[in-house]
Chain A
Amino acid sequence: MTAVLPDLTAAVRAALATVVDPELDEPITDLGFVRSLTLDGARVEVHLRLPTSFCAPNFAYLMASDAHDAAAAVPGVERVVVQLDDHHDSDLINRGLAAGAGYRGTFGHEAEDSLDELRAVFSRKAHTAAMERAVTAVLRTDPAVDVAALTVGDLPAGERTTDALLRRRAALGLPVDDGAPVLLHPDGTRPSPAEAPVVLRRARSVRISVDGNAHFCRGLLRTRYPGSGADQAPRPEDRPLIPLTVPEGTRP
């Protein structure tokens, strides 16, 4: 058995942190979905766990195969085993991953073409939710702001909501220059001033949905796997800048 360099474990963990749950738009490491990571020399074994046995298998497969690819790309890693635990399709997905069968090879007649369009749908939703967070942050400080006229340069620089929006724009190839409009239709075009309210309201429903689902999934994971809360971290945009924890019993 070869001694494992601690920095290889750290490198694999960092690679897994780039794998995102497409539906929740958060890294699987922050969601607590990585159950274990073990290295034996250059062999990596990753176990994933999900909030229920009936989480959608297409997303489950995407995360498992992305985790496999991310770990395999780390220099020094020679062999990767990813196992999805306790899912109704665990056997199917784990067999497919072990054989390198790909999406269609794994799911056979249930797979039609690819999961690219599914991924694209949720990348657009992730952008829409980030757009709403950024606009609402501005509205909270200045309720009179003209949302339809807002441009990227108007967003407060260095704010997490701004940074998060810019990252998602870059991922979709949307403009990130100061003059680019903030409010966009799902197809990337700019709404007219008359359309702006409903575009923002629709974006709000997307953000509420994503946040609500993420919170529920975190909670269900903790219910299903006691102790898993220790492996969870909130979405960066939601992390308080100043710790808000007040020790119990200190209230006057």
Chain B
Amino acid sequence: MYHKDGDDYFIVDAHIALWDARPENQRNVHGRQFIDCFYDYHRNLSPESEVWPYEEYLYQGGERLMRDVFGDGMVDHAIFQPARLAEFYHRGFGQTEEAFALAQAHPDKLTYNHYWDPRDGENGLDALRAAAERMGLKGVKLYTADWHGESRGWKLTDPMAYRYLELCRELGIGNIHIHKGPTIRPLDRDAFDVADVDHVATDFTDLTFVVEHCGLPRLEDFCWIATQEPNVVAGLAVAIPFIHTRPRYFAQIMGELLYWIGEDRILFSSDYALWTPQWLVEKFVDFQIPEDLAEYAPLTTEVKKKVLGLNAAKLYDIPVPEHLRLPDADETATGPRQPDAADLATV
């Protein structure tokens, strides 16, 4: 819980990881390149006081994670969203057993989401069934840019992916988090294309598709798809740290998301350990859209409360104290949500 100026904010961090990128776990140069890329993101977007030494960035372990995410009592609940990256790391990047054990030890604070990959074929379906039973999965994290043997990417519309989505439906795994990285196959098309999300959202209306980092670097394509699909949700991983280095850009991202998809479908995510949640929450609560960006409505306290925790709590049935709950906005299910709040829309 975070308190500020007489308001209480229930905080759900919808995207954290427990990774191991230490040299002994790096399978090849790509393991090194991948964590270096993350570290550059971290160094580039963090306030100076929040920048970690490289050595600390490689691996945190459960004890430190609990301290970093929950230490000051600000975050109420956090959700693991692991990436496998088996081609880059001997034991994978996301540490499944360590993270799952931590979630079992702190069930009130942590939810473990697992991953699947359609290229694992029939065996992967069996493994998903077993994982769902053992872990009580409510969600999965899918990384479509993961490498797998000769293949360097996949699409949600691949026939085998449909088999996995059907199984998710059967097993009650309702939250499908999608991380769009630079998919290499097919190389002819945009590597960050989010069009496949459109297809599966239409075909699986009973599943919720959370697009991580709100489709960045394709914010525009994401907004256009999400405005038409009521079961597509924006995760703010990677987008929210811009609040420090580029507050005007962050204001535009928030303004666009609120305009196209509305206040009930945006989730706070620190992307820990890329960044830590505390400074992001503090800055977000204090944040306001600059007055000269008159095409966007100001962010209300209610919007901030929903984004910081209430929206994710709803998706994951995380209990929220009665007095902190808020009703859904009276918004249209599809199409622009706040056209009247946008002065340049009334041309």
Contact = CB atoms under 8 A, between A and B. Distances in A.
Contact of A213 (B217, B295, B345): B217
B190 A121 contact: yes
B105 interface: no
B21 to A, nearest CB: 13
A27 B150 CA distance: 33
A201 B259 contact: yes
A116 to B, nearest CB: 9
A138 B215 CA distance: 30
Contacts of A204: 256, 295, 344
A1 interface: no
Interface stretch (A8-16, A94-102, A217-225): A217-225
Contacts of B260: 205
Interface stretch (B2-10, B32-40, B54-62, B263-271): B32-40
Nearest to B32: A53
B217 A112 contact: no
B33 A110 contact: no
Interface in B218-239: 218-220, 223-224
Interface stretch (B133-141, B179-187, B276-284): B179-187
A219 B344 CA distance: 30
Given A110-B184, A202-B224, A213-B217, A224 B347 contact: no
Given A53-B33, A110-B186, A197-B339, A205 B347 contact: no
B343 interface: yes
B30 to A, nearest CB: 6
A220 B30 contact: no
Contacts of B36: 53
A236 B347 CA distance: 27
Interface in A160-197: 196-197
Contacts of B41: 220
Interface in A192-217: 196-198, 200-202, 204-206, 208-209, 211-213, 215-216
Interface stretch (B93-101, B156-164, B245-253): B245-253
| Chain A interface category by residue count | 35 or more
Contacts of B256: 204-205, 208
A205 B220 contact: yes
A88 interface: yes
B180 to A, nearest CB: 11
Main SS of chain A's interface residues?
helix
A206 B220 contact: yes
Interface footprint category on B: 35 or more
Contacts of B217: 23, 209, 212-213, 216
B119 interface: no
B347 A54 contact: no
Contacts of A111: 187-188
Nearest to B88: A88
A145 B29 CA distance: 55
B152 interface: yes
A232 interface: no
A122 B192 CA distance: 12
Nearest to A197: B345
Interface string B308-347: 0000000000000000000000000000100100111111
A121 B34 CA distance: 28
B191 interface: yes
B224 to A, nearest CB: 6
Contacts of A146: 347
Nearest to B215: A209
A52 B220 CA distance: 22
B43 to A, nearest CB: 5
B189 interface: yes
B205 interface: no
B187 A201 contact: no
B316 to A, nearest CB: 29
Nearest to A128: B220
A197 B44 contact: no
Nearest to A125: B220
B184 A57 contact: yes
5 nearest interchain CB pairs? A53-B33, A147-B347, A56-B191, A205-B220, A56-B182
Interface of B: 29-30, 33-34, 36-37, 40-41, 43-44, 150, 152, 181-182, 184-192, 216-220, 223-224, 242, 245-246, 249, 252-253, 256, 259-260, 295, 336, 339, 342-347
Given A52-B37, A57-B191, 18 more contacts: A53-B33, A54-B34, A55-B182, A56-B190, A56-B192, A57-B184, A58-B191, A109-B150, A145-B347, A197-B339, A197-B347, A205-B256, A208-B253, A208-B256, A209-B220, A213-B217, A215-B246, A223-B40
